[in-house]
């Protein structure tokens, strides 16, 4: 008969394979037999944390500590769960207790630093990261964290240098074509600012959809430097990206999943044409880094945006305050598709005698990817948008898809929202219908999600809700951003309190 330790290890292996619910069953099975197993309570707490049941994980860690108070892992994990629900002081006490019991405990130092960074006390957080690096100078995660924070503070020199450590972290990798180049003996170095006239550069996304939309703009800078630019990306994104300036060719990224899990087969299927002639490669963010090193200035892609002066009809750089419809971004969809969705939206709105008497058409989006490490800080509950939705001043279009959509059935003001059909984006390519809908809005209200980047890249008037400590690209202050000239930022000033920034947006919409 297996021991308790062996059963817990079996559960942990299942847990790490991704089947967290099955692992939880094993952990609970142990606790039914041995309710005073502190280790089993900790394993259960980890599973609950991974399923975003933070309160459940807190309860489990407390049970473990009631049984075994000298347990640094439990104190560290309890602090991390408390951090996720905003119990800052109590989390700090837990991390301190973990480090008292196990001086130099690297995970506790990382988490203690992250606690204060996300609470807005960046310098205090950096002190704990620095202590971690004295223990493990080559810790890629700590260096990556320092890079993100430095970028957030506008220190691009240190930021990019430290952020490059991300490539040493597990789970961060390049597309299959990179493996195929190596296997074929084709040396394609990362571009770091070398002259590009007559050179072929292959670039690709490295992170999520929002990052892909945001940073594909670097293609125009490479093209302006004389390069032939090839973008490797998901086949579904090619229709959306087809209007991006500076791209000479798209290659659909062949995933291992579509090649029986074989990375090499996936890569070799892409190894043809100009891809075999590549002189340089790089992810979109690596190209941004190299442009900064070369030019000593951040490449925002200002020239990718143009606003049409109302009085003259001439185009100008889109850096001034702009109203809906006056910004031309670097993504475009056809007039035919925009008009198709305009007709559909009109059919869902209350008829009026004139167009001028219609209410403003406002899109709302509140939930990002729950798997993102910072989702708890950047997504909100639909209920928080009540001041904008329930007053009746606007026609509201639901722009939430996937995670968070279930909240429409949990509030009493959602019935009046226009809900887009389930067939959205099913035929023309990823985000194509969504983009056309966005182009029909007077404004979008959104948290930091891929939809925010899509709207910004299209030039749609966007009101962006940001947590107290946002993603690095938004910096720590300001109500505008050079990344998207038609985006207005409303920042949270107190962790967990969204009332102030949401009411600020409502006032902007009513102005």
- The 10 Å CB-count burial string (b at 16+, else e) for 231-248 is bbbbeebbbbbeebbbbe
How do the pLDDT tens digits run along the chain, 511 residues long?
788 889 999 999 999 999 999 999 999 999 999 999 999 999 999 999 999 999 999 999 999 999 999 999 999 999 999 999 989 999 999 999 999 999 999 999 999 999 999 888 999 999 999 999 999 999 999 999 999 999 999 999 999 999 999 999 988 889 999 989 999 999 999 999 999 999 999 999 998 899 999 999 999 999 999 999 999 999 999 999 999 999 999 999 987 665 556 778 888 889 889 999 999 999 999 999 999 999 999 999 999 998 644 433 433 344 333 335 458 999 999 999 999 999 999 999 988 766 667 899 999 999 987 777 778 888 999 999 999 999 899 999 999 998 899 999 999 998 889 999 999 999 888 999 999 999 999 999 999 999 999 999 999 999 999 999 999 999 999 999 999 999 999 999 988 899 999 999 999 999 8
Q: What is the pLDDT of residue 355?
A: 67
Q: What confidence score (pLDDT) does residue 173 get?
A: 86
Model pLDDT, residue 427 = 87
CA 180 to chain centre: 28
Burial 117-135 (b: 16+ CB within 10 A, else e): bbbbebeebbebbebbbee
The single residue listed with the structure tokens 């310098």 is 123
315-317 β-sheet, strand order: 315-317, 306-308, 327-328
Coil, strand, or helix at residue 83?
Answer: helix
The closest of 106, 42, 53, 120 to 84, measured between CA atoms, is: 53
One-character DSSP codes across 430-471? TTHHHHHHHTT-SEEEE-SSHHHHHHHHHT--EEEEE-SS--
- How confident is the model at residue 322, as a pLDDT? 33
The confidence score (pLDDT) of residue 226 equals 98
Cross-strand bridge partners of residue 327: 307
Helix axis angle, 38-50 relative to 20-33, nearest 10°? Answer: 160
pLDDT at position 385 is 96
Q: How far apart are CA 80 and CA 447, in angstroms?
A: 24
Per-residue model confidence (pLDDT) at position 311: 39
pTM, to two decimals: 0.90
Compute the residue count for the chain: 511
Residue 319 phi/psi, 5° resolution?
-105, -10
d(CA 202, CA 79): 43
Residue with structure tokens 């260096």? 143
To which H or E segment does residue 53 belong?
none
Q: Which residues contact 123 (CB under 8 A, 6 or more apart)?
A: none
**Residue 326: predicted pLDDT:** 56
CB 224 within 8 A of CB 246: yes
End-to-end distance of the chain based on CA atoms, in angstroms?
A: 72
């Amino acid at each position: 008969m297996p021991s308790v330790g062996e059963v817990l290890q079996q559960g942990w292996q299942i847990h790490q394979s991704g089947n967290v619910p099955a692992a939880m069953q094993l952990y609970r099975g142990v606790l039914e037999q041995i309710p005073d197993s502190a280790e089993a309570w900790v394993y259960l707490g980890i599973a609950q944390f991974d399923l975003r049941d933070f309160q459940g994980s807190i309860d489990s860690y407390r049970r473990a500590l009631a049984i075994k108070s000298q347990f640094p892992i439990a104190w560290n994990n309890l602090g991390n769960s408390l951090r996720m629900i905003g119990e800052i002081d109590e989390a700090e006490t837990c991390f301190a207790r973990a480090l008292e019991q196990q001086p130099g405990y690297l995970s506790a130092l990382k988490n203690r630093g992250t606690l204060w960074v996300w609470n807005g006390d960046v310098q205090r957080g950096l002190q704990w990261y620095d202590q971690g690096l004295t223990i493990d100078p080559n810790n890629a995660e700590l260096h990556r964290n320092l890079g993100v924070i430095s970028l957030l503070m506008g220190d691009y020199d240190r930021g990019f240098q430290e952020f490059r450590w991300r490539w040493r972290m597990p789970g961060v990798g390049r597309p299959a074509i990179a493996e195929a180049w190596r296997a074929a003996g084709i040396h394609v170095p990362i571009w770091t600012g070398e002259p590009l006239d007559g050179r072929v550069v292959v670039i690709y996304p490295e992170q999520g959809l929002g990052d892909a939309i945001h940073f594909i703009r670097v293609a125009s800078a490479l093209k302006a430097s004389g390069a032939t630019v090839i973008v490797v990306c998901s086949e579904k994104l090619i229709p959306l990206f087809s209007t991006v300036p500076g791209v000479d060719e798209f290659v659909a990224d062949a995933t291992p999943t579509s090649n029986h899990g074989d990375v090499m087969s996936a890569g070799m299927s892409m190894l043809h044409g100009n891809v075999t002639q590549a002189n340089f490669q790089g992810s979109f963010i690596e190209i941004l880094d190299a442009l900064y090193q070369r030019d000593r200035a951040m490449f925002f892609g200002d020239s990718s945006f143009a606003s049409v002066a109302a009085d003259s009809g001439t185009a100008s750089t889109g850096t001034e305050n702009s109203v809906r419809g006056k910004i031309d971004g670097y993504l475009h969809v056809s007039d035919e598709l925009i008009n198709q969705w305009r007709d559909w939206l009109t059919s869902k709105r209350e008829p009026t005698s004139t167009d001028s008497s219609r209410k403003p058409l406002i899109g709302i989006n509140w939930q990002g990817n729950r798997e993102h490490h910072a989702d708890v800080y950047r997504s909100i509950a639909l209920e928080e948008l009540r001041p904008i939705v329930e007053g009746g001043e606007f026609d509201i279009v639901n722009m939430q898809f996937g995670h968070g959509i279930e909240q429409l059935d949990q509030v009493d003001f959602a019935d009046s929202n226009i809900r887009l059909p389930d067939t959205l984006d099913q035929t023309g390519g990823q985000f194509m219908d969504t983009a056309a809908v966005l182009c029909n809005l007077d404004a979008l209200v959104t948290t930091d999600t891929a939809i925010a980047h899509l709207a910004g890249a299209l030039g749609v008037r966007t009101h962006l809700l940001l947590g107290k400590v946002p993603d690095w690209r938004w910096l720590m202050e300001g109500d505008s951003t050079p990344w998207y000239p038609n985006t207005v930022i409303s920042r949270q000033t107190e962790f967990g309190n969204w009332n102030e920034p949401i009411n600020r947006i409502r006032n902007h919409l009513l102005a």
